[in-house]
Amino acid sequence: MMDSPLEGRDFPGSLPELRAWFRSDADCVDYLDWLRWPDGFVCPWCADVGDWGVVPGMHRCAGCGRWVSVGAGTVFHRTHTPLTVWFEAAWLMMASKQGVSALTLQRVTELGSYQSAWTMTHKLRSVMSQSGRDSLSGRVEMDETFIGGSSPGTFGRGAAGKTLVAGTIERRGEGFGRARLQIIADASSASRSDFIRAHVSPGRHSSRMGGPPYPRAAAAIEVHNVKASSQPAHPSLPGVHLLFSLTKRVLEGTYQGSVLPERLRG
């Protein structure tokens, strides 16, 4: 493993490099320990810094006597799967632009069962999305799209067999920042208002493409009506439509386009 890696900056650029960093579970445990306590062990129960632990991956607080595992409170807690496999699965899921299915993960990591691979992907995805995150701020784009459905459906809002998903993304100069996606019940002002309040800071400037206007009380809205303009949707709001495109690419690559609405919520 590299000398003095920095959290959030240093990242293996390839699978061989990942395997070189983490040759054994001991390497993985050491890395997790450093991530959790970069300045040395601190008991999460009593905040004592004394450590009587002599078992790799375990600390025994000198203050309260409790044993604390480096994996406690994480997706690795009490796992029977080698940490090297977990690390490889996490790297594959983050490095692949089109996502990784449980079947692909089982094949690449040589896991013994599909269920184990599915459980790993489910747990990893659950920690990729965190509740209580800060709302988007500054100038944002918003729009809606239909995802999934086994039948082509009808044109326009109300396409049969599909799920309506609202999306919003921050504009940062010529680039883009954070993004949010959420299933909404319909394209009504009430559903849009709930979406904005959940994900956009109050009083921020927002842009919207087409359809009835968003409620003004939810945010400062600039409406761009596609029907009234000569431009298609994606040049007018490139960020949110790029977000939709990448999302659909992942679903096509990972699930071959077949995804149930309840799975989209995860």
In DSSP notation, 64-121 reads T--EEETTTTSTTTT--S-HHHHHHHHHHHHH-TT---HHHHHHHHT-S-HHHHHHHH
* Residue 39 pLDDT greater than 50, yes or no: yes
Q: Which of 28-32, 55-59, 91-95, 156-160 has the lowest mean pLDDT?
A: 156-160
Radius of gyration of the chain (CA): 23
Task: Give the whole-number percent of the chain exceeding pLDDT 90.
Answer: 30
- In sequence order, which ranges of 96-237 are alpha helices (DSSP H)? 102-109, 114-128, 189-199, 233-236
Band (pLDDT 50/70/90 cuts) for residue 208 is low
The CA–CA distances, whole Å, from 184 to 128, 177, 190, 191 equal 21, 22, 10, 6
Question: What's the rounded Cα separation, in Å, for the pair 31 and 155?
Answer: 51
Looking at residue 101, its pLDDT comes to: 84
The token pair at 58 is 């375990």
> 223: which strand partners?
208
Nearest one of 78, 108, 71 to 93, comparing CA atoms: 108
Q: How far apart are CA 100 and CA 92, in angstroms?
A: 7
This prediction has a pTM of 0.62
Q: What pLDDT, on the 0 to 100 scale, is given for residue 155? A: 45
Looking at residue 51, its pLDDT comes to 92
Task: Give the pair of three-digit tokens for residue 134.
Answer: 């800060």
Average pLDDT, the chain: 80
Alpha-carbon distance values, 20 to 2, 14, 15, 30, 87 (Å) = 9, 10, 9, 14, 12
Q: Which two tokens stand for residue 126?
A: 């659950």
Structural tokens at position 20: 């070189």
Instruction: Summarize the confidence of residues 7-24 as an average pLDDT.
Output: 84
pLDDT at site 246: 84
Give the number of other Cβ atoms within 10 Å of residue 188's Cβ.
Answer: 11
User: Is pLDDT of 153 > 80?
Assistant: no
What H or E segment, with its residue span, contains residue 243?
helix 238-255
pLDDT of residue 20: 93
156 has pLDDT over 60: no
Cα–Cα distance for residue pair 256/180, rounded to 1 Å:
23
Beta bridge partners of 142: 168, 208
Q: According to the model, what pLDDT value does residue 49 have?
A: 93
Q: Higher pLDDT residue, 151 or 185?
A: 185
The pLDDT of 135-150, averaged and rounded, is: 81
- pLDDT tens digits, 227-255: 566 666 667 788 888 899 888 887 776 66
Q: What is the pLDDT of residues 82-133, one digit of tens each?
A: 999 999 999 998 887 667 888 889 999 999 899 999 999 989 988 876 555 6
